Amino acid sequence: MTTPEIAVTTTNISTTPERELLMPPRSFKDVLRSGVRWESGLVILFLASLVYGWSVTSYFLNMETLFFAGLNFGEIAIMALPMTLIIITGEIDLSVASMLGLSASTLGYLFMHGWNIWAAMAICLMVGILGGALNGFLVTRLGLPSIAVTIGTLTLYRGIALIVLGSNTAVGFPAWTQNLSSPIGNTHIAYDFALFVVLALVFGVVLHMTALGRSIYAIGLQPETAFFSGIRVKRIKFSLYVVSGFLCAFAGILYTFQQASSASDTGVGLELNVVAIALFGGVSIFGGRGTIFGVVVSVAIFASLQSSLTAINISGQAQSIVTGCLLLLSVLVPNAIESMSRLWPRIRSRRPSMEVS
Amino acid sequence: MATTTAGSTFVTKILRFRELAIVVAIVLVFALTYLKNSSFASTASIQQMLSGPSIIIMLAVGETLVIVTRNVDLSVGSVLGLSAYLVGDLFVHYPHMPVAVALLVGLLIGLVCGVVNGAIVAYARVPALVVTLGMLYIIRGIDAIVVNGVQIQPSQIPQSFVNLGSGSLIGIPYLFWIAAVAVAIVGYVMRTFRPARDLYAIGSNPEAAILAGVRVPRRVFSAFAISGALAGLGGALWLAEFATVASTAGSGYELNVVAAVVVGGVAIFGGSGTILGAALGALLLNTIDQALVASRVSSFWNQAVAGILLLVAIAFDRYVSLRAEKILRVEGAHRDNA
Amino acid sequence: MERVEAPEEAPSSDGHTVVNPHESEALLVVERATKFFGPVKALVNGSITLYPGEAHALLGENGAGKSTLVKILAGVHSADGGYITLDGVAVKFSNPIDAREAGISVIYQEPTLFPDLSIAENIFMGRQPLRSGKRIDRSEMLRRAEDVFVRLGVPLEPSRLARGLSVADQQIVEIAKAISFNAKIIIMDEPTAALTEVEVQRLFDVVATLRAQGAAIMFISHRLEEVFAMCQRVTIMRDGAFVKTSTIDDISIDDIIYSMVGRDIVSLYGEHSRTPGVTVLDVEHLTREGVFTDITFSVRAGEIVALAGLVGAGRTEVARGIFGIDKLDAGTVTMAGQRIKTGSPLQAMNAGIGFVPEDRRQQGLVMQMAIDRNASLASIARLSHLGIIRQASERKLASEWAARLQLKFGRFSNPVMTLSGGNQQKVVLAKWLARQPRLLIIDEPTRGIDIGTKAEVHRLLGELVEQGIAVLMISSEMPEVLGVADRILVLHEGRLAAEFSRDEASEALIMRAAAGQMKAVAS
């Protein structure tokens, strides 16, 4: 009995015909192809940005640039790591920057009220854990949509930061903390950068090589199947939010020490930068797709571009245009590739063609 | 003959109930604040309560159209900022520009931005969150370049325009009239015309909408275009209200708008919600803002309260839909056993 | 059930017999429609004739070309060859809207309703009646919707939201939509798959009403009993081509199967040795409010116990309750003497239960993930060393099971969605068998699978119990239940209605128990 081995949509009777027309136009092969292509594309882009930077100023490729880039981008890069995992599971966390601000404000407030700096830091990290737990609780226990929830907690945490620190600026942190804004020892590596690299390795191993990472992808692609296979979907999502809260609080502490001050508006608006970096790194907003490597290269590209553009005196705000364009390209280009590949007859023979009216 | 189930009545009631609940909440907040500070009910204060949220109401109207189709427009804040500045700049060069023209220019600037958003989301079929986020960055960047550190000063804006922002007609601020008219018109259209009903269909079940012959790309495109236009108009009104624009105007506004819309009962995943609800949501959030100021609670509490309110609103919506589902499920079972 | 008149037989010019029960003009004639997707011949000879007022079943195995033919009629695809005439006029549809305007409506298994809009608006979306100034006339819309429901004889409230409607009610709304389009031909794809008995009867009545009004109904169904109850004529397809058409009176079930399969089915179900051992699963007083009550039974090693009953009786729900997907309100689950904590799939898995769910595409597999990763999905913890998954072990698992189950695939890294239904089911089985469960719960083991693979699955189940595994099977296919199971438990509306051993069971007895016409078994 020969059953043509064509894609399941025509042999499985329970799929509605129109459904086929409307499914996201990706077979895994295309996804895989475009994924590998995406990460490779990113690497090429990174090298191109280095070339550009070098062409703009001959100082570009020296160590100091690396140092400052690492310093400026450290916090955003660190926050992008848990964000990546959360987006892969199909959720989002828009409260990251507010948590950074809340942690910074708490640190400032406690320190200014005579707390021991270590104890204050511990409290900040606890706040991060609690904030993450609240997000996790609302999303997993109450089943609320994460985009709406984290807009709410974004507002709430920023609000609490305001209540805690008001319009004050906390200064006068212990002298040793200022070392964080200097390179490590004799190298030109910023502490931020080093921390990011370590964390990236940990996240990379977890996401790509462990059962937890596999589960995260399964949750993003098909949460019901994941649950039916014994994966603890809720627990994993909850934990990811807690990790995110913790790391954002940690980033807030780092940021404060680097700036040697903290205010309640620390980090306002950064959440969109973090999301942008993850999306540009190949993490699909729909979930189930993305790599740590892609995000790392994405960070590198943004950092490098920022350095070169600043070197030619383009303001931070104006650099936004570059961020925006990169973000748009990150979704338009894969789409364009797909549309083109659908026109190739070779691809056509593997799947039923969809005649669009 | 036709049976109305308790479940469906429950759902319909809750939906109408939502707008009523917000009105009740507004009245409650007002009453409580009045008790603490009787000047809260003064003419000036009430006028402030009406004109304050007017701009965000305009943006909320546009955002509702977009969210109903299961998309989101995160660029509205930057569009507002850009429009406010450009209109102001136009006044600097053409001090005798009529008010109506200024408003029209603002609207057109927003329309252009909305059209770009709409074209990309609707025709290139890419996720709206990413596109409007990208546009947020791009527009902010353009704004920064255009503004170039120069701030528009009140003295550069003609009095007639400033009057629009601070004057009133029969005691009600012009700004509120404009917002109210927008709400009335768009609200009516959303209930009464086929193309608008298409928007709800798209958000409720995108695949079914295509099957039903709805021209999805066209409608989604229009929703973004209108959202942009209203944000642009909002920018012009911003200029009228504050008479000063820096390059940070409107920054971060988009999340406030989304929050207002969700509090107002518009489902974040589309398909349901009313213009009136969204407007009331914005009004409620703003009233709470002003109430906190009036009751001498430090204004630092505004944000926290807004955040809590949003979370409560979302949780409440979820509770309602779960209850409704349970009632309908149990009913269904009983009906079959009857 | 109305009886059709004895047909007039008139050979058509193409050689296949045209049967004209109503002696009227054919409504729809499809002759030799073809459709190719690249080198794949999905349809080589699609032919069918529909007369007004008839209910006509389109039968065939998966891959026979039925869905392609329907898609062509629905306007989703356009035929590469052949011709279609509707009311004597040649037609070609370029999109689904064309087809609908021409009078062909399709009712799919999955709902295409708008949950947030009213039933009336669902019916008239895009065509809402207007009053002056292009404004929607809501009262007119409600009135027209009400009219349609009166015509159908179904009391649904047009102003209520579509959200929360049962599958059966959703179908009615879809039918109402079709009527509002003045559909002359209504095609229904597996309409009774998710209906309770009462709802099936209601559907039969609605179909009779539609037929009386002159519409032709085309059914795609695998449920031959219902086909015999509801239809006047059948058309059978195989391998993309027309095989036979006949009135229902002139054909037997064996004929149909033979035409569908092309060979005699000798033994579909195989034999396995039946030596039940110790009790593996013990469930007592399982209750989930509104769904099932006081379910008590056990399953022993080496036996296949089937849960039979009508859709909606609670069979899948009981299975889900045992496996921990749904929380139980009362009752205990004991595996090999140990009570297990309910409400947690992980606990069930650790106790040795595997669960092959009903919906393999949504619940059994991650469609976009690779074949080997799907196979290992329930074993990733076991395959990890110090937290890292060992690729070599994963590959070994996949290849061992692929060989054992005779999986037909391209590469292990291909996404599982590239496989046929039968092979997909094998991957799900591999996933659970890799854990060496003591109890395998399998829900609709051969749904949507071609007959060849069906036989393989049944053989596999037999092998499993011979090795001492206990199997709890849920099936809606009576022949499967009777052919495979050692013991049959029948559920009726959430309660255990009867228990039969293999020898004493018969289709009639099971049906009666499922319909609630037997005293409940004392547990």
Chain A closest-CA separation from residue C195 CA (Å) = 15
User: Looking at the complex, does the CB of residue B28 fall below 8 Å from at least one CB of chain C?
Assistant: no
Among B8, B325, B335, which would you mutate to test the C interface (most chain C Cβ atoms within 10 Å of its Cβ)? B8
Residue A232 in any domain: the answer is yes
Task: Give the pairing of strands C304-309 and C470-474.
Answer: parallel
Among A270, A327, A335, which would you mutate to test the B interface (most chain B Cβ atoms within 10 Å of its Cβ)? A327
Residue B39 in any domain: the answer is no
Q: Residue C516 region, left (φ>0) first, then alpha (ψ -120 to 50), else beta? A: left
Among residues A173, A172, A171, A167, the alpha carbon closest in space to that of A264 is found at: A167
Residue A262 in any domain: the answer is yes
Domains in chain C: ranges and CATH: 17-112+166-261 (3.40.50.300), 114-164 (no CATH), 267-352+437-523 (3.40.50.300), 370-428 (no CATH)
Map C443-459 to HEC letters. Answer: ECCCCCCCHHHHHHHHH
**Cβ separation B197–C199 shorter than 8 A:** no
| For range B263-275, the mean pLDDT | 91
pLDDT of res. C515: 72
Residue A65 in any domain: the answer is yes
Q: Which residues in B lie closer than 8 A to residue A167 (C-beta atoms)? A: 300
Q: Which residues in B lie closer than 8 A to residue A333 (C-beta atoms)? A: none
pLDDT digits (tens, 9 = 90+) for B100-109: 999 999 999 9
pLDDT of res. A15: 32
Chain C closest-CA separation from residue B312 CA (Å) = 22
- Max mean pLDDT range (A239-253, A301-315, C393-407): A239-253
Q: Which two tokens stand for residue C117?
A: 């809009």
Among residues B107, B110, B114, the alpha carbon closest in space to that of B73 is found at: B114
> Is residue B191's pLDDT more than 90?
yes
| For range C430-452, the mean pLDDT | 90
> Is residue C224's pLDDT more than 80?
no
Please report the DSSP string for A255-298 in residue order: HHHHHTEEETTTTTTHHHHHHHHHHHTT--TTSS---HHHHHHH
pLDDT of res. C97: 87
Q: Which residues in A lie closer than 8 A to residue B286 (C-beta atoms)? A: none
Per-residue pLDDT band for B337 (boundaries 50, 70, 90) equals: very low
Any idea what the CATH number is for the domain that residue B246 is in? 1.10.3470
- Max mean pLDDT range (A346-355, B62-71, B89-98, B118-127): B62-71
Residue B1 in any domain: the answer is no
Residue B196 in any domain: the answer is yes
Residue B276 in any domain: the answer is yes
Task: Give the pairing of strands C279-288 and C292-300.
Answer: antiparallel
B8, B12, B214: residue with CB nearest C126: B214
Residue A17 in any domain: the answer is no
C97, C125, C198: residue with CB nearest B201: C125
Element (DSSP H or E) covering residue C228: helix C224-230
pLDDT digits (tens, 9 = 90+) for A133-155: 999 999 999 999 999 899 999 99
| For range B132-159, the mean pLDDT | 86
User: Looking at the complex, does the CB of residue B204 fall below 8 Å from at least one CB of chain C?
Assistant: yes
- Does the pTM exceed 0.80? yes
Mean pLDDT of chain A: 82
pLDDT of res. A13: 27
% of chain C with per-residue pLDDT over 90: 48
Residue B204 in any domain: the answer is yes
Map chain B to HEC letters. Answer: CCCCCHHHHHHHHHHHHHHHHHHHHHHHHHHHHHHHCHHHHCHHHHHHHHHCCHHHHHHHHHHHHHHHCCCCCCCHHHHHHHHHHHHHHHHHHCCCCCHHHHHHHHHHHHHHHHHHHHHHHHHCCCCHHHHHHHHHHHHHHHHHHHHCCCCECHHHCCHHHHHHHHCEECCEEHHHHHHHHHHHHHHHHHHHCHHHHHHHHHHHCHHHHHHCCCCHHHHHHHHHHHHHHHHHHHHHHHHHHHCCECCCCCCCHHHHHHHHHHHCCCCCCCCCCCHHHHHHHHHHHHHHHHHHHHCCCCCCHHHHHHHHHHHHHHHHHHHHHHHHHHHHHHHHHHHHHC
Query: Exposed, middle or buried by CB within 10 Å (0-12, 13-18, 19+), for A346?
Result: exposed
Residue A329 domain boundaries: 27-341
Element (DSSP H or E) covering residue C265: none
**Cβ separation B130–A328 shorter than 8 A:** yes
Neighbours of chain B (3+ CB pairs under 8 A): A, C
**Cβ separation B307–A155 shorter than 8 A:** yes
| For range C481-487, the mean pLDDT | 90
**Cβ separation C136–B209 shorter than 8 A:** no
pLDDT of res. A23: 33
Neighbours of chain C (3+ CB pairs under 8 A): A, B
User: Looking at the complex, does the CB of residue A205 fall below 8 Å from at least one CB of chain C?
Assistant: yes
Q: How many CB atoms lie within 10 A of CB A197?
A: 14
Per-residue pLDDT band for B61 (boundaries 50, 70, 90) equals: very high
- Could you give the 3-state DSSP secondary structure of residue C433? helix
Total domain count, chain B: 1
Q: Which residue has the higher pLDDT, C125 or C449?
A: C125
C37, C97, C388: residue with CB nearest A210: C388
Any idea what the CATH number is for the domain that residue A133 is in? 1.10.3470
Chain B closest-CA separation from residue A277 CA (Å) = 11
Residue A99 in any domain: the answer is yes
Chain B closest-CA separation from residue A306 CA (Å) = 13
Residues 6+ apart with CB under 8 A from A168: A108, A112, A263, A264
pLDDT of res. A130: 98
Residue B217 domain boundaries: 6-34+44-333
Residue A1 in any domain: the answer is no
Element (DSSP H or E) covering residue C97: helix C96-102
Output DSSP code: residue C417: G
Map A307-352 to HEC letters. Answer: HHHHHCCCCHHHHHHHHHHHHHHHHHHHHHHHHHHHHCHHHHCCCC
**Cβ separation B141–A318 shorter than 8 A:** yes
Total domain count, chain A: 1
**Cβ separation C115–B205 shorter than 8 A:** yes
pLDDT digits (tens, 9 = 90+) for C133-145: 899 999 999 999 9
> Is residue A320's pLDDT more than 90?
no
Per-residue pLDDT band for A345 (boundaries 50, 70, 90) equals: low
Among residues A257, A271, A220, A326, the alpha carbon closest in space to that of A79 is found at: A271
A:212-241 residues touching chain C, CB 8 A cutoff: 212, 214-215, 217-218, 221-222, 224-232
**Range list of H helices, chain A:** 8-11, 17-22, 28-56, 63-88, 96-112, 117-136, 146-165, 191-209, 211-221, 223-228, 233-259, 270-280, 292-311, 316-343, 345-348
Q: Which two tokens stand for residue A313?
A: 């005196």
Residue A332 in any domain: the answer is yes
- Max mean pLDDT range (A281-285, B105-109, B136-140, B313-317): B105-109
Chain A closest-CA separation from residue B63 CA (Å) = 14
**Cβ separation B214–C155 shorter than 8 A:** no
ipTM of the complex: 0.87
> Is residue B87's pLDDT more than 50?
yes
pLDDT digits (tens, 9 = 90+) for C48-105: 999 999 999 998 876 678 888 998 998 888 888 898 999 888 888 888 888 998 999 9
Q: How many CB atoms lie within 10 A of CB C225?
A: 12
pLDDT of res. B12: 62
First CA to last CA distance, chain A: 35
**Cβ separation B336–C312 shorter than 8 A:** yes
| Range with lowest mean pLDDT among A259-263, B72-76, C12-16, C249-253 | C12-16
pLDDT of res. A35: 54
Neighbours of chain A (3+ CB pairs under 8 A): B, C
